[in-house]
C-alpha cells in the first residue's frame, strides 16, 4: 500500500484501478498505459494491480470493455430520442462518430485487435458488441436498409468517418455532415 495519507486504503480496489486507467486513457493511448502507471494514478503500491489483473493485457481488456460500454450507452441514448427512421440512422451514427472524436484513445482501445481479438471477444465484451450491432441493425432495418450487407456498410461508414475525423483528416462537423448526407442519399 501507498504510505501516503490520502492513498487508497479500502473499498473497491478493482474499480479504483479501472477508474485510474480510464482517466489515463483520456490523456494517452492504451498502448502507453502500464500497470505501474495505473497504480501510481490510483495512489496504491505498484503491486496492487496484480491482485485484480493477471497482466497488462488484462487491464487493457478492462479498459476496452468499459470504453465499449460507454460507446454503446451514447449510441443507445442518441437513438432512443429519434422520432423517424432517418433520425435514428443519423443520431445513432452521429453519437458513434462523436465518441470516436471526443474519446479517441478509448475508441482505439475498443477496436484494438490485440485486446479484443476479432471473433473471440471476452465474456464481458461479447454482449456489448452484440448490443451495438443490434442498435445499428434496428436503425438500418427501420429505415428500409434490410439487405444482409446494409448493417456492415452502415457500421463501416460511421466507423470510418469517426476514425478519420479522430485522426484529424477532417473536422467533426465535416464527418457529421458527410454521415447525414450519405444517409439522405441512401434513403432517397
**Whole-number pLDDT of residue 5:** 38
pLDDT digits (tens, 9 = 90+) for 72-130: 999 999 999 999 999 999 999 999 999 999 999 999 999 999 999 999 999 999 999 99
Find, among 114, 121, 120, 108, the residue nearest to 163 by Cα. Answer: 108
What CATH number does residue 79 fall under?
1.10.357.10
What is the spatial distance between Cα 8 and Cα 113, in angstroms, rounded to a whole number? 33
pLDDT above 70 coverage of the chain, percent: 95
- Global pTM? 0.90
Enclosing domain of residue 162: 64-187
pLDDT at position 32 over 60: yes
DSSP state of 81: T
Position 54 in a domain: no
Per-residue cell: 6? 490520502
* Domain count for the chain: 1
Residue 35 within any structural domain of the chain = no
Helix axes of 35-42 and 56-80: crossing angle, nearest 10 degrees: 70
For residue 2, tell me if it sits in a domain. no
Amino acid at each position: 500500500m501507498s504510505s501516503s495519507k490520502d492513498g487508497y486504503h479500502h473499498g473497491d480496489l478493482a474499480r479504483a484501478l479501472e477508474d485510474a486507467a480510464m482517466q489515463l486513457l483520456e490523456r494517452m493511448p492504451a498502448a502507453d498505459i502500464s500497470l505501474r502507471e495505473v497504480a501510481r494514478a490510483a495512489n496504491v503500491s505498484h503491486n496492487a494491480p496484480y491482485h485484480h489483473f493477471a497482466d497488462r493485457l488484462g487491464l487493457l481488456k478492462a479498459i476496452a470493455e468499459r470504453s465499449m460500454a460507454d460507446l454503446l450507452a451514447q449510441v443507445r441514448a442518441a437513438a432512443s430520442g429519434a422520432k423517424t427512421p432517418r433520425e435514428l440512422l443519423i443520431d445513432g451514427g452521429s453519437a458513434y462518430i462523436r465518441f470516436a472524436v471526443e474519446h479517441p484513445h478509448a475508441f482505439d482501445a475498443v477496436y484494438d485487435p490485440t485486446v479484443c481479438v476479432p471473433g473471440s471477444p471476452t465474456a464481458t465484451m461479447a454482449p456489448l458488441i452484440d448490443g451495438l450491432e443490434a442498435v445499428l441493425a434496428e436503425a438500418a432495418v427501420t429505415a428500409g436498409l434490410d439487405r444482409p450487407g446494409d448493417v456492415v456498410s452502415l457500421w463501416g461508414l460511421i466507423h470510418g468517418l469517426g476514425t478519420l475525423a479522430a485522426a484529424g483528416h477532417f473536422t467533426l462537423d465535416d464527418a457529421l455532415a458527410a454521415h447525414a448526407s450519405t444517409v439522405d442519399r441512401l434513403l432517397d
